[in-house]
Structure 1
Amino acid sequence: MAGIGGSGAVTRSTLRQQIADALRDEVLGGRLRPGQEFTVKEIAEQYGVSATPVREALVDLSAQGLLDADQHRGFRVHEYSGADYRGMIEARSLITEGMFQHLVATGMPQADDPRALAALAAVRRRGEEAQRAATAGDLNILIGYDLRYWRELSNLFGNTYLADFLHRMRVQSWVCTVQHLRHVSDLRGHLWSGHTALVDALARRDADGARAIVTAYNEHALTLIERLDAP
């Protein structure tokens, strides 16, 4: 990808993250396909950088479950199954359930806290963009907005560990989803678009309503992926 490592001020740590982000986008965009193999040298040549930050970026993505490392053949894009997706849904549900319990315990968002309400309104706007992309069946646009939406939404609950874990699970979920949905010619009507309904339920402090929305979303997504994964 043009521009990576183009500035002398870019540190190795920054370059490592840039490469990891670029490769993650390649996987999410379906340009690096399940099972596709590549070496550190190939990626370094592609991006015009040295091997060290590339190797570090690939190790990072392997630790996140997006790549498989092979000592002799390099790396390959991890292939996810319907069973994998079910496990991701279960893990995500544990996190969102904790969010809902926090909502009940604290009454978040506080009606007299303008900063919290402004942050929630910003998340809602992100959700509106995600919904438009979902309705149009534009998977690439949806993924970007959806990841930002959930990241910002989980940040409202003030636990960075929870937010980081949920973000990682959602990235993995999207990688798995992309591997299956790329076979569907028209995605209109297949993609979840309840982002604003969830924000509105949280704004009302309606934990049961928010829980029902997420449960329906998970059931819909799991049914779709398992159907596409069936032999």
Structure 2
Amino acid sequence: MPASGAVTRSTLRQQIADALRDEVLAGRLLPGQEFTVKHIADQYGVSATPVREALVDLSAQGLLDSDQHRGFHVHEFTVEDFRGMVEARSLVVDGVVRRLDGAGLAARAHGESLVSVRRRAEEAARAARAGDLDILIGYDLRFWRELGALIANRYVCEFLHRMRVQAWVFSVPFLRADAEGEKWLWSGHEPLVDAITLGDAGAVRAVIGEYDEHARKWADRLESTHR
């Protein structure tokens, strides 16, 4: 019985963390917004223990900040933080691609896993072109996570996933408030899958470079309009 109870609590802890992460990604919990363990426990109708554990997990992921007297609040990332995220993921991805030659890329991009990645790419690109931010976020995160699992080790994948979650957390409030926000949703997922399938490392670096430059230009625009 103790083991079963531990599994149940662990599962609940993860479910709460996932639900709160989705709230932050969707922009329903805004940067700086404060809440307590009791508030979240009451909201989900659960005890305080799994909620506290979930909030600590999200704090460790850089999404929340804790205050001994005031509870927790959503972390407020800056434009410079965002630029740092883009640079970090760019350096790591470039290192992964350069480590694998074209044959290495093609050898890893096959079978059912690639079919799933291509499906995510199509859905993410479609949502980006339609300006559907809610749909895009989920497919974009799954696309990059599944793609990373094909060509990188799990430690690299986890790092990159964390960078992309944080980047979305920063971006969402600004994209929603911008009348032209949908024009800045990147939709190059499919060309990237095509390049990896062909084992064309140069084309992969070119698409990734365009992706990163797109993010940098958006950061520049954001900074210029919020001075």
TM-score (normalizing by structure 2): 0.91
Q: Are 1:145 and 2:139 matched, yes or no?
A: yes
Q: Which amino acid aligns with 2:192?
A: L
Structure 2 counterparts to residues 190-201 of structure 1, below 5 A:
190-201=184-195
Match of 2:92 in 1: 95
Distance 1:188 1:170 in 2: 18
Match of 1:210 in 2: 204
Q: Which amino acid aligns with 1:39?
A: T
Match of 1:4 in 2: none
Match of 1:34 in 2: 31
Shift of 1:186: 4.6
Q: Are 1:169 and 2:147 matched, yes or no?
A: no
Match of 2:128 in 1: 134
Q: Are 1:160 and 2:157 matched, yes or no?
A: no
Q: Which amino acid aligns with 1:57?
A: A
Q: Which runs of 5+ in 2 are unaligned?
A: none
Shift of 1:10: 6.3
Which residue of 56, 60, 66 maps to 1:59?
56
8 Å CA contact 1:39, 1:73 repeated in 2: yes
Q: 1:173 to 1:161 in 2, by over 3 A?
A: same
8 Å CA contact 1:138, 1:187 repeated in 2: no
8 Å CA contact 1:143, 1:174 repeated in 2: yes
Q: Are 1:71 and 2:68 matched, yes or no?
A: yes
| Matched residue SS, 2:106 | coil
Distance 2:219 2:145 in 1: 23
Q: Which amino acid aligns with 2:38?
A: K
Tell me the matched-pair count. Answer: 221
Q: Which runs of 5+ in 1 are unaligned?
A: 1-7
Q: Which amino acid aligns with 1:147?
A: L
Shift of 1:106: 5.6
Match of 2:44 in 1: 47
More deviation, 8-17/83-92: 8-17
| Matched residue SS, 1:30 | coil
Q: Which amino acid aligns with 2:119?
A: R
| Matched residue SS, 1:208 | helix
8 Å CA contact 1:177, 1:225 repeated in 2: no
Match of 1:185 in 2: 179
Match of 1:109 in 2: 106
| Matched residue SS, 1:32 | coil
4+ runs deviating over 4 angstroms? none
8 Å CA contact 1:137, 1:186 repeated in 2: no
Q: Which amino acid aligns with 1:207?
A: A
| Matched residue SS, 1:182 | helix
Report the RMSD for the aligned CA atoms in angstroms. 1.9
Shift of 1:58: 0.5
Shift of 1:121: 2.6
| Matched residue SS, 1:33 | coil
